[in-house]
Amino acid sequence: MSAFRFAKPEVLARIPRDHDAVIEASAGTGKTFTLVGLVIDLLLERDARIEQILVVTFTEKAAGELRARIRQKLEELLALAADGKDVAGKPCWNIDDGARHKLRAALTGLDGATIATIHGFCQRTLGEQAF
């Protein structure tokens, strides 16, 4: 299958990658959009596996929406790969056979990914690391 480029969200250029970052904003400002793009960027550009990415938010509703939107973006990128759409002149992800493999693996492992509320993550960690 041929490779193509898919435009990255422009907001990703403003997020530092050399240390932790907090995304904090009012409702409806694009936090979920940004986090979805960041997860895809980590998968494709940083060679992270979905199991290595921790996404923490405040509410169960937000965690559910994040999981659904990440799944939707993974499916969208895999479907577009078959269409061969291209975007020139912008920062892009290169969607080639290696990227498709990473996207499929992430989609397969998404149900086990840690996308949780703060209290849910803490509860899970305490259960896994109990002494």
In this prediction, residue 81 carries a pLDDT of 61
pLDDT digits (tens, 9 = 90+) for 8-60: 998 898 888 788 777 777 888 888 999 999 999 999 999 899 999 999 988 99
109 with 49: CB under 8 angstroms?
yes
In this prediction, residue 70 carries a pLDDT of 97
pLDDT digits (tens, 9 = 90+) for 53-92: 999 988 999 999 999 999 999 999 998 866 555 566 778 8
Q: How far is CA 25 from the centre of its chain?
A: 18
The mean pLDDT of 90-117, rounded to a whole number, is 93
In this prediction, residue 82 carries a pLDDT of 60
Which of the 8 DSSP states describes residue 114? E
Query: What percent of the chain is predicted at pLDDT more than 90?
Result: 50
| CA distances in angstroms from 51 to 7, 10, 11, 37, 114, listed in the order given | 24, 25, 24, 17, 7
In this prediction, residue 3 carries a pLDDT of 80
Where do the domains of the chain lie, and which CATH numbers do they carry? 4-128 (3.40.50.300)
In this prediction, residue 124 carries a pLDDT of 87
